[in-house]
Structure 1
Amino acid sequence: MTSSGNCPLCANPGGDVLWRNSRLRVVKVDDASHPGFTRVIWQDHVGEMSELRAAERDEIMSVVWQVEQAQRQVLRPGKINLAQLGNMVPHLHWHVIPRWADDSHFPQAIWAPAPPRPPAAEQAWQAHKARILALLPDFHTELAAALSRR
């Protein structure tokens, strides 16, 4: 693996590793507000998709699609947000973020300030989030199984 000494995704896994091979890792993002948030990280220190060969781009995107599919099958979000930013960490990684119409930031991006919610809406989200959290072990198991069949 090529790395950059000051890159946090070179120095650390970036979350709990759910699956990895020699080129990629899939990690659980520790974000209490956004259950199921998953990151797909290219192992080598590469900043842009255009730096990968076509087969490598196909490989990373195939894993992104598999994460999305497992999220949809198990967690049943209303929407999946995909983001490949790299503004703060110039190391190629994709955010795969399940979203629900009642989540804390909907319809805003998760990086935007959360819109104000009445207490009843916040209570409803907390109850919904508890049900989602209970599904996370099943999501992780399904995802690891799907990726192991690659």
Structure 2
Amino acid sequence: MSVASPLATRPDCELCRSPGGRLILQTAAWRVVRVDDEDFPAFYRVIWQAHVAEWTDLDEGGQQQCMRAVSAIERVLRARLAPAKVNLATLGNVVPHLHWHVIARFDWDSHYPNPIWGNRLREVPGGARAALACPLETLDEAVRTALQALPAG
């Protein structure tokens, strides 16, 4: 059983008050958004709907649901973009609301191989969005389709 009810929210929490990015798909348990980031355009978040801070605040079923969504996004990013690496992270130091970052990384990106929160190493001529192997709208639709194919609950 999750520690918080599925409808638990906190008015002081950014991810309780707003979607947290461009909404791709929402279920009762989680939502997926694409973060609007010029340097990292293929940056998605899986955000747990209830306000919980830690992974272990979820029961096993909730953890499985969340990780299935993370895995589905990673598979799409790998298939559509062939990144050098897909970064997965859940930190919560700044926004203590459970969410996973799923970020396609490329050897040409502005920070690679540094973390996205690290120092910039280079400029990307023409911008990162233009360097992607497919348009973001196409990528978003592929992510949505993969998420819709996940088992319910």
TM-score, structure 1 as length reference = 0.90
Identity of aligned residues (%): 40
- How far 1:83 moved relative to its partner? 0.5
Equivalent of 1:114 in 120, 128, 132? 120
Q: What is the aligned partner in structure 2 of residue 61 from structure 1?
A: 67
Q: Distance in 1 between matches of 2:79 and 2:139?
A: 8
Q: Distance in 1 between matches of 2:78 and 2:132?
A: 12
4+ residue stretches of structure 1 with deviation over 4 A? none
TM-score, structure 2 as length reference = 0.89
> What are the ranges of 5 or more consecutive residues in structure 2 without an aligned counterpart?
1-6
> Are the counterparts in 2 of residues 75 and 136 from structure 1 also a CA contact under 8 Å?
no
Q: What is the aligned partner in structure 2 of residue 78 from structure 1?
A: 84
CA RMSD of aligned residues (A): 1.5
Q: Please tell me whether residue 146 in structure 1 is matched to residue 123 in structure 2.
A: no
More helix by share: 1
Residues 132/90 of structure 1: CA separation in 2 closer, same or farther (3 Å cut): same
Q: Distance in 2 between matches of 1:58 and 1:122?
A: 37
> Are the counterparts in 1 of residues 41 and 128 from structure 2 also a CA contact under 8 Å?
no
The CA deviation string for residues 63-102 of structure 1, in whole angstroms up to 9 with x for no partner, is 0000111111112211000000000000000000100011
The CA deviation string for residues 25-62 of structure 1, in whole angstroms up to 9 with x for no partner, is 00010101101100000000000010100010011001
Q: What is the aligned partner in structure 1 of residue 45 from structure 2?
A: 39
Residues 12/129 of structure 1: CA separation in 2 closer, same or farther (3 Å cut): closer
> What are the ranges of 5 or more consecutive residues in structure 1 without an aligned counterpart?
none
**Counterpart secondary structure, 1:137:** helix
Q: Distance in 2 between matches of 1:2 and 1:70?
A: 30
> Are the counterparts in 2 of residues 40 and 64 from structure 1 also a CA contact under 8 Å?
yes
- How far 1:128 moved relative to its partner? 6.2
Q: Distance in 2 between matches of 1:128 and 1:51?
A: 36
> Are the counterparts in 1 of residues 80 and 134 from structure 2 also a CA contact under 8 Å?
no
**Counterpart secondary structure, 2:20:** coil
The CA deviation string for residues 99-134 of structure 1, in whole angstroms up to 9 with x for no partner, is 00110001100101212x3xxx743xx366413175
> Are the counterparts in 1 of residues 53 and 97 from structure 2 also a CA contact under 8 Å?
yes
Q: Distance in 2 between matches of 1:28 and 1:87?
A: 20
Q: Please tell me whether residue 9 in structure 1 is matched to residue 12 in structure 2.
A: no
Counterpart code for 1:37: F
Equivalent of 1:21 in 14, 19, 27? 27
Equivalent of 1:49 in 43, 46, 55? 55
